[in-house]
Structure 1
Amino acid sequence: MLDALEVITTVSVGVMVGVEFSVAFVINRILDALPEDSGQLGRAHGGRMLGAVMPVWYITSVALVAVWAIARWDHHGTGLVVTAGALLILSVIMSILLLVPINNRSKKWTPENRPADWKEQSNRWDRFHYVRVAVIIAAFALLVTALA
């Protein structure tokens, strides 16, 4: 049972990393290359869609890691799991303080109502997101190492 918890947790965090990596290095690059206002509209739609799903995924991942750490407290690798959990908590804090405020504004933008500095705000979101992706990749690597 605990082995299944470890695998489910690692896969869940790994898929989350894949989604966030894809947003950072694939989806946003595709959207930025679209003509005229298409990219901004795509980012707004993505912000609405992923803004609804990702908070649940992040919190569930933190909860799963916490259960793993508690259930295997006396086992080898628990320090790695606790550190991974701390990194995931950091990613949630980063999201709430840095990324969500920008996302909450940008998901409502249209070509008619977006602010003059919308590109700068999108670029700021991208920079914060790159850091968040690095943090969750590190958490995932620690979970994989703890599994091994």
Structure 2
Amino acid sequence: MLTALEVFTTVVVGLLVGVEFSVAFVLNPIFNGLPEDSAQLGRAHGGRMLGALMPFWYIGSLVLSAVWAIAGWHHPGAGLVVIAAALLIVSVLMSILLLVPINNRSKTWTVENRPEDWKEQMNRWDRFHYVRVAVIVAAFALLATALA
């Protein structure tokens, strides 16, 4: 049963990393290459769509990691899982404190009501997101190492 939990948790976190990596390094660069209105509208739609799903995915990943850490406390790699869970806590805190406030504003923007500094706000979101991606990549690497 522990092995199934370990594999499931690693897959869930790995998929989270894949989605967030693609947002940072594929989708947003595509949006940024579109004409100005299209870029902002694409980001707003992505913010609405992923903003509804990601809280569950982040919290679910953290809960699964915590359960693995508790259930596997006396098994090899438990320390790595605890560190991975701590990194996932950091990613959740970053999301709540830094990224979600910007996302909540930007997902309501249209061409008519966006603020003049919308590009600056998107650039700030991108910088925070790059750091968050690095944090969850590190968490995933630790989980994969603990699984091996």
Q: TM-score, normalised by structure 2?
A: 0.99
- Cα displacement string for residues 84-111 of structure 1 (whole angstroms, at most 9, x for unaligned residues): 0000000000000000000000000011
Query: After superposition, where does 1:73-92 map in structure 2 within 5 Å?
Result: 73-92=73-92
| Equivalent residue, structure 1, for 2:44 | 44
5 Å-filtered alignment, 1:1-148, equals: 1-148=1-148
Paired residues in the alignment total 148
For 2:103 and 2:137, how far apart are their aligned partners in 1?
21
Gaps in structure 1 of 5+ consecutive residues: none
Percent identity between the two aligned chains: 79
Deviations 1:17-37 (A, max 9, x none): 000000000000001111230
Q: Which runs of 5+ in 2 are unaligned?
A: none
The Cα of 1:43 is off from its aligned counterpart by 0.1
TM-score (ref. length: structure 1) = 0.99
Q: Distance in 2 between matches of 1:128 and 1:9?
A: 25
**Equivalents in 2 of 1:147, 1:8: separation in Å?**
10
